Chains A and B, each alone.
Chain A
Amino acid sequence: MESLIYLIPIALVLGLLALFAFLWALKSGQYDDMEGAANRILFDDDAPIAQKKEEPKKDAKDQD
């Protein structure tokens, strides 16, 4: 029974972590476009926004 003293807080903390992770994701707009997110993974050969300078070259290579 003593193990409950550790296990219950651990369970609650883990649950709370998940809850806060979800609330953060919601706040940062990750749930705004569920349809788009589902489809975007199909186009992953795209260069991310940060690398847009190299994009044309990379794309040309991808076509080959």
Chain B
Amino acid sequence: MTAPQAAGDIGTGPGGACLHCGEPVPQGSAGGAQFCCSGCHAAYEMIQGMGLESYYQRRCLDPDQPSMRPDDEDTRFDFQAFADTDDQGVTTLHLMVEGLQCAACVWLIETVLRKQPGVQHARINMTTRRLVLKWNANEADAEQLIGAVTHLGYRLAPYDPSLISAENQQREKQLLRAMVVAGFAAGNVMMFSVSVWAGKDMGEFTRNSMHWLSALIALPAIAYAARPFFHSAITALKAGRTNMDVPISLAVILASTMSLVETVRMSEHVYFDSAVSLVFFLLIGRYLDSRARGRARAAGENLMGLKARAVTILADDGSREVAPPERLKPAMKFLVAAGERIAADGVVLSGESDIDTSLINGESVPVQARCGEKVFAGTLNLSGPITVEVTQTGEDTLLSEIVRLMEAAEDARAKYVALADRVARLYAPTVHTLAASAFLGWWLIAGLGWQDSLMIAIAVLIITCPCALGLAVPAVQVVAGGRLLQRGILLKTGTALERLASVDVAVFDKTGTLTRGTPQWVNRDAISEDDIHLATSLAIVSKHPLSRALSREVSGVPAAEGVEEAPGSGLKLMTADGEVRLGRRGWCGVDEDGEHAEAELWLARPNAAPVRFAFSDQVRIDAAQTIAALKAQGIDVMLLSGDRQAAVAAAAKDAGIDDWHAELKPADKVDRLSALAEQGKNVMMVGDGLNDAPALATAHVSLSPSSAADVSQTAADVIFQGDKLAPVLEALHVAKYADKLIKQNFALSFAYNAATIPMALAGFVTPLIAAIAMSTSSLVVISNSLRLGLGKGFTLKRQTDSQSNKPVQPAAQKET
């Protein structure tokens, strides 16, 4: 993998946008004046060399997606383990793709791969962002093909297709097939029904033939298409419960059987069309529901897959092996290169480096790791390669402690019941009672024949059947999920929207959530230009976050020749006058004084007093506005962090949060959230660290940025991408709007029921009226749901444009 030579990072360099990745070009970039780094330059030349430069005209960069810059953070996978070679030598590999900006990227990757020798098939599924690659094993190997794509700035991760939701996909396809069959049958049966209704002067024989034809189409179609409802109803009945599917199945079965009997009796009214359209409308709802879930799940799986890195295990004989992290056992040794995450808790055997522990404990300043010191799984190795011996994999690891807290919290939350299910619990008994009393009332009291009484009861069942009710929630969720996904917000759980809508307290973590998680240089005014120039010329060479923070702020400084990196300590440069050092306090000859509030670098040069460069982790640019907007919506905001008092106080002040607590352990955060829940508050937790994961699982609803630790993303209900906090507001806004629409939908379908049930009970409902009522109520609910897609967004722009902290109106009120 091509590693850029210089620390080109998101900066405000004057050189315009990089031709390849579109990010600003920093001064003195190793990629030249037009590129932000050498990796981008190489990618551009590769695309040019293949004659594919029209890619740059075709694409549109999506700011919500990760940057196209070929990354120097090394991600290695054991591709061969996932490749599957058949007896003709054709190898198949399934890969997840990260970094797709638009359709042009799909085209570029596919074309580049097809131009590689031996490649027979390369196709990306844009919906799931997965790539199927087939090539001749004799002509190419996996690393070479994948290298061609990763050099362009995309990331690929292999996965095992048999492990990924094949069952769910199968079920979804089955639903679609059932829906189509039901739709076909509904259309054709309706064709006959309409003729019967319209043909008042139709002869009895013709009418009967029409009824028989309807039966011929409707009965097999129902037998096939209504199976999902029958299955679910039987399962529920076996468990001694009822659910929404019991009255549905009952209505469908009774209506078709009675219609068959009526057809044999040559009577005037049959309900085949109602039975089939009922199944059709309900299947639309089911299919939408399953698709919304499937899409969120697929995106979640991709996210996890891209993070499942391989580790380099060091055997006793010195040989190296790339393997998945699960293979690590206590006392095994593994290598961690600079820029890699540490895969297991352990002790450093050799090497020196700085470790970024922000995901574990919220600490924003990297800690030094020397021989014999403990390191924890999930932390990021910053500056030098180290060898680690695994110490723990069992109960005592930090990770397992956190997982245990999380599981306890998740048990508690599993009790949440979705609104639709709550409605269904009331609904099923009501419908059964109504239908039964209609039957008994007409038969026993009014003295009608049992067949006619049963027909009235069936009409009641069909009329009350929850077509609109079944569509009320999924239709809104599909539209809401799609709209959020477009903005890089991913709903992981089906009930996330519902729970978001009722939030009244928002709790934020500090490092990586409220703040960017990367340090910013803060004392520029206190340092002379010469010192800044010298320090930057050294810092530009390093990937350490403090060096990057420095070189990002200063433009016009070329990298100095001959800079050496001393891992865990700093950078040094031999000059004519003597050695110049940029690094840790002690290493630069300054006395250690214990506690420092801020991260710092020292510059030591011959014959001059050392100079201190201070850094602090700044809050995200729109943090203050987001917090203000939350407060304006009547939501209490709180900051809970594991970081030190001073750092938390500063961030809280910048973000405008009055209620903050520092130095909290994961269990403390959980306690505070539980206390809030006991006061009857619905807490939204926004956090990214491993130390937040238990709190995320405890909260009423939880959000994580996509930069969060894996465990936190697993615990969170919603994951958002990008550098801003505004997605939190967008998610809240969409959730509130969706909640409003769902309630309107319920109201609409109840109003419809209230109007039609008396008619059905009185026996006035003919098949024609049932068909009209059913279709219109479903259409009304669907069109009402689509309003969410049309509705204007609560966008970042509306907020950032205002450039002030003035309170933003609650978004849900703006819509109407």
The interface of chain A, by Cβ under 8 A from chain B, is: 1, 4, 8, 11-12, 15-16, 18-19, 22-23, 26, 31-36, 39-40, 42-43, 46, 49, 52, 55-56, 59-60, 62-63
Contact B180 A43 (CB under 8 A): no
Least CB distance from A56 to B in Å reads 6
A43 contacts B206, C-beta separation under 8 Å:
no
Given contacts A11-B191, A12-B217, 15 further A-B contacts (CB under 8 A): A4-B206, A8-B213, A16-B184, A19-B180, A22-B180, A26-B173, A32-B127, A33-B128, A36-B124, A39-B103, A40-B107, A42-B58, A43-B107, A46-B107, A59-B52
In the bound complex, how far is the Cα of B180 from the Cα of A47, in angstroms?
A: 34
In the complex, the chain B residue whose C-beta lies closest to that of A1 is B206
Q: A8-B213, A23-B177, A52-B114 are in contact. Are A35 and B126 (CB under 8 A)?
A: yes
Chain A residues in 8 Å Cβ range of B191: 11
Report how far A46 CA is from B51 CA in the complex, Å. 12
The residue that B180 contacts in the complex, of A23, A32, A49, A63, with Cβ under 8 A, is A23
Residues of B within 8 A of A (CB): 50-54, 58, 102-104, 106-107, 111, 114-115, 121, 124-128, 173, 176-177, 180-181, 184, 187-188, 191, 206, 213, 217
Which residues of the other chain, B, contact A62 by a CB distance below 8 angstroms? Answer: 54
Residues on the A chain within 8 Å of B128, using CB? 33
In the complex where A19-B181, A26-B177 touch, is A63 in contact with B53 (Cβ < 8 A)? yes
Q: Which A residues are in CB contact (< 8 Å) with B124?
A: 36
Contacts of A22 in B (CB 8 A): 180
Measured in the bound complex, the distance between the Cα atoms of B206 and A52 in whole Å is: 60
Shortest CB-to-CB span from A3 to chain B, Å, is: 12
Contact B127–A34 (Cβ < 8 Å): yes
One of A43, A52, A56 near B58 (C-beta < 8 A) = A43
**Is A63 a contact partner of B121 (Cβ separation < 8 A)?**
no
Q: Please determine whether A40 and B180 come into contact, CB atoms closer than 8 angstroms.
A: no
Q: A55 and B115 in contact (CB under 8 A), knowing A26-B176, A36-B125? A: yes
CB neighbours (8 Å) of A12 from chain B are: 188, 217
Q: List 7 A-B contacts (CB under 8 A).
A: A15-B188, A26-B180, A40-B103, A42-B103, A43-B58, A46-B111, A55-B114
Distance of A18 Cα from B128 Cα, bound (Å): 28
Cα distance, A55 to B187, chains bound together (Å)? 46
Top-4 shortest CB links A-B = A39-B103, A36-B126, A33-B125, A35-B126
| In the complex, chain B residues whose CB is within 8 Å of the CB of A39 | 102-103, 106, 126
> B103, A18: Cβ atoms under 8 Å?
no
Contact of B51 among A8, A19, A40, A60 (CB under 8 A): A60
User: In the complex, A42 Cα to B57 Cα: how many Å?
Assistant: 13
Contacts of B181 in A (CB 8 A): 19
Q: How far is the CB of A31 from chain B (nearest CB, A)?
A: 7
Contacts of A40 in B (CB 8 A): 103, 106-107
Could you say which residues of chain B place their CB within 8 Å of the CB of A15? 184, 187-188
In the assembly, what is the distance between CA of A60 and CA of B54, in Å? 10
Residues of B contacting A59 with CB < 8 Å? 50-52, 111
Q: Are B188 and A35 neighbours in the complex by a CB distance under 8 Å?
A: no
- Complex Cα–Cα for A15 and B184 (A): 7
A36 B115 Cβ-Cβ under 8 A: no
Question: Which residues on the A side are within 8 Å of B177 (C-beta)?
Answer: 23, 26
Q: How far is the CA of A4 from the CA of B106 in the complex (A)?
A: 52
A29–B107 alpha-carbon span in the complex (Å): 19
Complexed CA–CA distance, A1 and B188 (Å): 19
Chain B residues within an 8 Å CB radius of A32: 125, 127
Bound CA span A52–B119, Å: 10
| Cβ contacts under 8 Å, A4 to chain B | 206
Q: How far is the CB of A20 from chain B (nearest CB, A)?
A: 10
Across the interface, do B188 and A36 meet the contact criterion of CB distance under 8 Å?
Answer: no
Q: Which of A19, A31, A36 contacts B103 (CB 8 A)?
A: A36
> Which residues of chain A come closer than 8 Å to B54, judged between CB atoms?
62-63
Closest CB in chain A relative to B803 CB, distance in Å: 36
Q: Which residues of chain A come closer than 8 Å to B213, judged between CB atoms?
A: 8
Contacts of A60 in B (CB 8 A): 51
Q: Which residues of the other chain, B, contact A26 by a CB distance below 8 angstroms?
A: 173, 176-177, 180
Closest residue of A by beta carbon distance from B188? A15
Residues of A close to B176: CB separation below 8 A: 26, 31
Distance in angstroms from B457 CB to nearest chain A CB is 32
Question: Contacting B127 at CB < 8 Å: which of A8, A35, A42, A49?
Answer: A35
Q: Which residues of A contact B187 (CB under 8 A)?
A: 15
Q: How far is the CB of B281 from chain A (nearest CB, A)?
A: 18
Interface centre among A1, A23, A36, A60 (most CB of B within 10 A): A36
Which A residue sits closest to B169, measured CB to CB? A32
Q: Which residues does chain B contribute within 8 Å of A33, judged by CB atoms?
A: 125-128
Which residues on the B side are within 8 Å of A63 (C-beta)?
A: 51, 53-54
Distance of A8 Cα from B213 Cα, bound (Å): 9
Nearest-neighbour CB distance to chain A for B115, whole angstroms, equals 7
Chain A residues with CB under 8 A of B102: 39
- On whether the beta carbons of B125 and A55 are closer than 8 Å, the reply is no
Bound state CA distance, A36 and B132, in angstroms? 14
A49–B762 alpha-carbon span in the complex (Å): 65
Q: Are B126 and A55 in contact (CB under 8 A)?
A: no
With both beta carbons as reference points, the residue of chain B lying nearest to A12 in the complex is identified as B188
B111 contacts which of A11, A34, A55 (Cβ < 8 Å)?
A: A55
Min CB distance, B778 to chain A, in Å? Answer: 21
| Closest chain A CB from B453 CB (angstroms) | 34
Question: Closest CB of chain B to A22's CB: distance in Å?
Answer: 6
Alpha-carbon distance A53/B125, docked complex (angstroms) = 24
Shortest distance from the beta carbon of B322 to any chain A beta carbon, whole Å: 31
Give complex CA distance A52, B125 in Å.
Answer: 20
Closest residue of chain A to B50 (Cβ to Cβ) is A56
Give the complex CA separation of A35 and B125 in angstroms: 8
Q: How far is the CB of B113 from chain A (nearest CB, A)?
A: 10
